[in-house]
Amino acid sequence: MELLKKQRIWSKYTTFLVMLGIGLFFSPYISIFNEFGVFVTGGVAEISRSDQGFLSSLPALLLIASVTFIISMTIFLLFKYILRVNVGGHALDDIFALHQDADYHFQNFVILIALEEVVARWLFLGVLPEMFPASGTVGFYTFLIIGNSLWSLIHLLNFKDRKDKRKIYMVLPQFIVGVFFSYIFVKHGLVASIVAHLAYNTILFAATKVNVYRLKEAIIDFIIIGVTIFLASILSAKSVFDIVPWFNGVYDSASLADWKVVDYICVFLSMGSILSLIFNLLMYDAGTDDTKLDNVKMFEAIIIGVPSIVVIIIASNGILALFIDGLLMRGIVITLLLSLLGKSPSVSGAMKRFWTGLATTFILIVGIVSVGFWSGLLIAGVVMIYNQCASMLSKEFSS
């Protein structure tokens, strides 16, 4: 139990440091903070909508998520240890425990976040100000205060013991966080505010896990990851850095010169391995399924499951292309749909599934766009079968 507690602390605060580091290194943080200052002092009309590719804006979202975590934790500790406000237990602990057997953590987690952003941001900042355009800037900030206040007060339900009236102060962090999310909504849109909210809650709930990541599991995983990257480097001389234009929103010229199918496969496998390595180092919950898979289950997973997922991704991308222009936006929607179909033993495991799934789905979609349907289908199938086999091997040898 002590080891699990240490891993929870490690997962939570290293996640925060990783997000903060990415934000400070890859985003123009000085201009972001300056613009946020303009936003909170009444200058919403001066905030121009970002024309960057969504992934180019992701470091800024991670930066804001990590900064809001600092602010909310500071206020929380101030009230708890200095003002001696007894917060009691957290209601979410009961929710997670209630659904422990069902493993529906991701569904509860993401659907709730999406609903909160649709109401608190899209409705109050996007719809209502348009319905009352004569109110102008004053009206916008009135709706911002009302929407964020209601959103913050709802979080009073998080506390089991609601007799202490001082608990209303404990939702002050939510109000401040809501102002940051409001800025993101104005600057980048609804999907960005949902992703930033996901990132913020990922830090908060990275500690919710049920599995102790043991040394034997770590060794097996690192060996598999190392072998994958080594084989990929031998079979192809291409680098993952060659696909940087994809992450800058350059989708019209997604095809890479002199790249063959094997190059795409190797780079995708390397990218997936790197992501797995990051989340393993962060000690996110991998689950508690220690049962060995028999030949029948392995056959079903590889022969039936993988092609089904590939077809779903390709078909969903084609359908969503009729309504959504941005390739990454389609990738986010598809990843959310696939994640909702899966189960996770904890919120920590659900977040690992989502973030790695988002990157993998996006890369596979761009690969299909780059090399055509049939070659893309082959690439997606090989990559997913390889990943499925690697996951099975990890469970087989670590159980």
Task: Write out pLDDT tens, residues 220-255.
Answer: 888 888 888 888 888 888 887 777 666 665 554 456
Please give the Cα distance from 86 to 104 (Å, whole number). 30
33-47, 240-254, 330-344, 380-394: segment of lowest average pLDDT: 240-254
Please give the Cα distance from 169 to 287 (Å, whole number). 36
pTM across the whole model: 0.82
The count of other CB atoms within 10 Å of the CB of residue 307 is 15
For the chain, where are the alpha helices, taking DSSP H only? Answer: 2-26, 29-40, 54-77, 91-98, 105-117, 128-131, 136-154, 172-188, 190-205, 215-235, 244-247, 261-281, 295-299, 306-320, 327-341, 347-371, 373-398
Position 38 scores a pLDDT of 93
Helix axes 373-398, 306-320, angle to 10 degrees: 140
99-112 pLDDT, tens per residue? 454 455 666 677 78
Q: Residue 287: pLDDT above 50?
A: yes
Amino acid residing at 307: P
DSSP for residue 345:
S
Please give the Cα distance from 91 to 228 (Å, whole number). 42
**Do residues 314 and 377 make contact, with C-beta atoms less than 8 angstroms apart?**
yes
The number of angstroms, rounded, from the C-alpha of 179 to the middle of its chain's C-alpha atoms is 20
Most confident stretch, 227-231, 249-253, 258-262, 318-322? 227-231
**Do residues 272 and 352 make contact, with C-beta atoms less than 8 angstroms apart?**
no
Kindly state the average pLDDT of the residues 293-305.
Answer: 58
Most confident stretch, 144-148, 346-350, 368-372? 144-148
Confidence grade of residue 146 (pLDDT, cut at 50, 70, 90): very high
- Tell me phi and psi for residue 90, to 5 degrees: -100, 130
Query: Phi-psi category of 91—alpha, beta or left, where left has phi over 0 and alpha has psi -120 to 50?
Result: alpha
Confidence grade of residue 54 (pLDDT, cut at 50, 70, 90): low
Which of helix, strand or coil describes residue 90? strand
Which has the closest alpha carbon to 236: 263, 257, 256? 263
Please give the Cα distance from 383 to 266 (Å, whole number). 8
Give the burial class of 221: count Cβ atoms within 10 A of its Cβ; 0-12 exposed, 13-18 middle, 19 or more buried. Answer: buried
Which has the closest alpha carbon to 66: 182, 171, 196, 176? 196
**Do residues 345 and 228 make contact, with C-beta atoms less than 8 angstroms apart?**
no
More confident residue, 265 or 240: 265
DSSP for residue 159:
B
Which has the closest alpha carbon to 310: 258, 381, 261? 381
